[in-house]
Amino acid sequence: MNNIQLRVFMDERTRKHTLIAGALMALIGLLGIFLPQIMSLTISVLIGWLLTLSGIVLGYQVWYNFSHNWQNWLKPLLLLLAGLLIIFNPKAGAAALGLLLAAILLLDSYANFSLAFTLKPLAGWGWMLFNGFVTLLLSALIIVGWPSSSLIVIGIIVGVSLFFDGLTLLMLGWKAR
């Protein structure tokens, strides 16, 4: 989209709200970057509440539709239990999320290596190989520092993501002038 198309797409009201949303998201992102432990614990508690509420909703559904079979109660009870455990021990929840992130990065590293060797005769295949080493290193750093690294890593990653989301909105709003 060039500037003219962007100006047509965004009226003054939309542009203003885009700038406000971008500034707020960038600010929240900076808070996550500079206070990663607080961001990680907040995310952990939020996930705990989502699991707890999901367990309650699914329990309601089982109660009214399948209450005659005890096996149908396993999932709602597990969701409820996991959610409450995370709410009352958010550090453990953040540690679990950190381990999950390390596993995802490890799988991403494997995918990058596989793609690099598939592309090997082509120009630029080395960048994919390099990316594989970087993601492998990130995964290893999380695993070696686990569980304490989780409190920092999750907050920083989410903070950086939110910061760049906010920055993108700010740039879109700014370019629409």
Burial of residue 28, with CB atoms counted within 10 A of its CB: 0-12 exposed, 13-18 middle, 19 or more buried:
middle
**Length reported for the chain:** 177
Model confidence over 112-132: pLDDT tens digits? 899 888 878 777 778 888 888
The CA-atom distances, in angstroms, between 157 and each of 29, 63, 172 are 9, 39, 23
Residue 2: band (very low, low, confident or very high) from pLDDT cuts 50, 70, 90: low
The whole-angstrom separation of Cα 148 and Cα 37 is 10
Which residue from 32, 30, 50 is spatially nearest to 41, judged by alpha carbons? Answer: 32
Predicted confidence (pLDDT) per residue in 45-76, tens digit: 999 999 999 999 999 999 988 777 888 899 99
Burial class of residue 48 (count of CB atoms within 10 Å of its CB; 0-12, 13-18, 19+): buried
Q: How far is 123 from 88, CA to CA, in rounded Å?
A: 52
